[in-house]
Amino acid sequence: MPTLLPPRIRAQTLSPPAIICCCEGVSKWDIRTKIWDYLEANNLADFPRPVHHRIPNFKGSHQACHAVRELDVFKRTSEIKVDPDKPLEGVRLVTLQARKTLLVPTPRLRTGLFNKIVPPPGATKEILRICATSQGVKDYSVPIGLDAKVQVDLVVVGSVAVSEKGWRIGKGEGFADMEYAMMMSMGAIREDTPVVTIVHDCQVVDIAEELLDDHDLTVDYILTPTRTIKTGCKRPKPQGIIWHKISYEMLERIPILKNLRYREKQAGKDVILKDEHPDFPNARKPADSDENAKTGNTKLQTESTSAQIGQHHVGNDSLSTKSETHGALTTVYVGNIPPGTRVSELKSALREFHASPLRLSWQGAQGRAFLDYTDKMTAESVVSSLKGLSLRGQTLRVEMAKNQRNKGQVEINGQRNKYE
């Protein structure tokens, strides 16, 4: 039986916990639908509505969130990761008020893994409230890459449904599970790092353990407007990314996942994807998959890469002639390249990400390089794919050059730089 901590008695009258039957034979989606329908039918939801396909923002969420202050695991922490969901806004506020480090995952992991919320000096209570909102995350945060030495002491996630045993069901997209697995892979959390979820009482239901997969995240504490439940869950949490469950399509949608796979591949780990796995129907061979990815949606240039070292052009001279026929090129700047790095290391990484440029201009002594692509769409796709890429343990700075290639010049930090 789970341990029930002393109930919190509130003056405000709350809706009684709903008894939602989740019998054997129902699917995760059946449970989600029951919860969403119940919240809407009984007017237990706040903005945004309808709650379907969301982590629901329920009435009483701030009460439940503020109860996190009563947990010993919160009091002992200094660094907390809280999901960006609306019903967790109260936890983000409490974390900032307690002067703890707050990390919030980037929405849908589009641009990286974490944002660290940095309130301005002397922030008032009102400013802290803004920092805890989705807009505040945009306005008062700095990105945290895979190389950051973070040590998360507590993880707070949203849920659609959860059982008193600690089984959790999200909205079905798997981001909370993936974020946790990525944190494990980068050493940001330990096996015993506690996980808390915050839900309405009606979201606490019976869930058959058979519905859980090995990538599903479980929780150690459940906070509702009326209860605090310590689940005592012993089921192992994800130990890292399970690559054979990841598709190429997902890899393209989540650039930081691609970067993590590159790191683990360099470390000699098995990173065969779902599309490549021999047990998966119609699996493609890795070589075939790579070739298809090169000619897929990103339409990135393939192996036509040349390099310039200092002012000396190295590679196939025909590339220079060929590039002139394309007119204006779109240039990507790569900076923060570690001293001693060879151009071959950068070229190898670019091939791995199917981001080989039409021309590569290398200035390793200055810790930078310039990548030429034939169009802006391709260049922007490359910038997205290479976010968080590191060489020799150092995260590279990858961005569009401020002034695009014109007569052999680009502008970086306000200075013209001739690289031909």
Can you read off the two tokens belonging to residue 125?
């209570």
Residue 241 lies in a domain: no
Whether 332 and 265 share a structural domain: no
Mean of per-residue pLDDT scores for the chain:
78
- The stretch 277-283 carries a mean pLDDT of 55
Rounded alpha-carbon distances, angstroms, from residue 359 to 121, 172, 204, 206, 394: 45, 42, 57, 58, 23
| pLDDT of residue 285 exceeding 70 | no
Whether 159 and 256 share a structural domain: no
Whether 313 and 285 share a structural domain: no
Residue 96 lies in a domain: yes
- The stretch 342-363 carries a mean pLDDT of 88
Q: How confident is the model at residue 9 (pLDDT cuts 50, 70, 90)?
A: very low
In this prediction, residue 141 carries a pLDDT of 86
| pLDDT of residue 12 exceeding 80 | no
| pLDDT of residue 314 exceeding 50 | no
In this prediction, residue 278 carries a pLDDT of 59
Q: State what percent of residues in the chain have pLDDT above 70.
A: 76
CB 109 within 8 A of CB 183: no
Q: Which domain holds residue 353?
A: 307-418
CB burial class (10 A; 0-12, 13-18, 19+) of residue 257? buried
Q: Among 230, 263, 283, which residue terminates a domain?
A: 230
Nearest to 203 by CA among 401, 42, 342, 382: 42
In this prediction, residue 98 carries a pLDDT of 94
Whether 99 and 169 share a structural domain: yes
End-to-end CA distance of the chain: give it in Å, rounded. Answer: 71
In this prediction, residue 73 carries a pLDDT of 94
Least confident of 3-7, 174-178, 195-199, 414-418: 414-418
pLDDT digits (tens, 9 = 90+) for 124-181: 999 999 999 988 888 898 887 777 778 899 999 999 999 999 999 998 877 788 888 8
In this prediction, residue 397 carries a pLDDT of 87
The DSSP bridge partners found for residue 331 are 372
Q: Is the model more confident about 176 or about 17? A: 176
Task: Report DSSP state, residue 389.
Answer: -
Q: State what percent of residues in the chain have pLDDT above 90.
A: 38
Whether 283 and 182 share a structural domain: no
- What is the Cα–Cα distance from 5 to 371, expressed in whole angstroms? 58
Whether 161 and 21 share a structural domain: yes
Q: How confident is the model at residue 279 (pLDDT cuts 50, 70, 90)?
A: low
| pLDDT of residue 321 exceeding 50 | no
Residue 237 lies in a domain: no
Residue 200 lies in a domain: yes
- What is the Cα–Cα distance from 193 to 191, expressed in whole angstroms? 6
- Please identify which residue in the block is written with the tokens 């893994």: 113
In this prediction, residue 22 carries a pLDDT of 56
Beta strand extents in 20-120 (DSSP E only): 79-82, 101-105, 114-117
pLDDT digits (tens, 9 = 90+) for 371-404: 999 888 888 888 877 877 878 778 888 999 876 5
* Residue 112, CB-side half-sphere exposure with 13 Å CA sphere: 19
Whether 279 and 311 share a structural domain: no
Where residue 379 sits, what CATH number does that domain have?
3.30.70.330
In this prediction, residue 103 carries a pLDDT of 93
Whether 261 and 356 share a structural domain: no
Q: Among 230, 257, 279, which residue terminates a domain?
A: 230
Q: How confident is the model at residue 109 (pLDDT cuts 50, 70, 90)?
A: low
Number of domains forming the structure of the chain: 3
Residue 239 lies in a domain: no
- The stretch 358-382 carries a mean pLDDT of 89
Whether 29 and 157 share a structural domain: yes
Where residue 161 sits, what CATH number does that domain have?
3.40.50.10420
Task: Report DSSP state, residue 106.
Answer: P
In this prediction, residue 178 carries a pLDDT of 81
In this prediction, residue 327 carries a pLDDT of 57
Residue 301 lies in a domain: no
Whether 76 and 143 share a structural domain: yes
Q: How confident is the model at residue 91 (pLDDT cuts 50, 70, 90)?
A: very high
CB burial class (10 A; 0-12, 13-18, 19+) of residue 240? middle
Q: How confident is the model at residue 23 (pLDDT cuts 50, 70, 90)?
A: low
Whether 265 and 387 share a structural domain: no
Residue 46 lies in a domain: yes
Residue 240 lies in a domain: no
| 332 Cβ neighbours under 8 A, 6+ residues apart | 357, 370, 371, 373, 379, 382, 383, 398, 399, 400, 401
| pLDDT of residue 85 exceeding 60 | yes
Whether 43 and 122 share a structural domain: yes
pLDDT digits (tens, 9 = 90+) for 214-273: 888 999 999 999 999 999 998 888 888 888 888 887 777 777 788 888 888 888 888 888
User: pTM for the complete prediction?
Assistant: 0.66
- What is the Cα–Cα distance from 14 to 110, expressed in whole angstroms? 38
Task: Report DSSP state, residue 315.
Answer: S
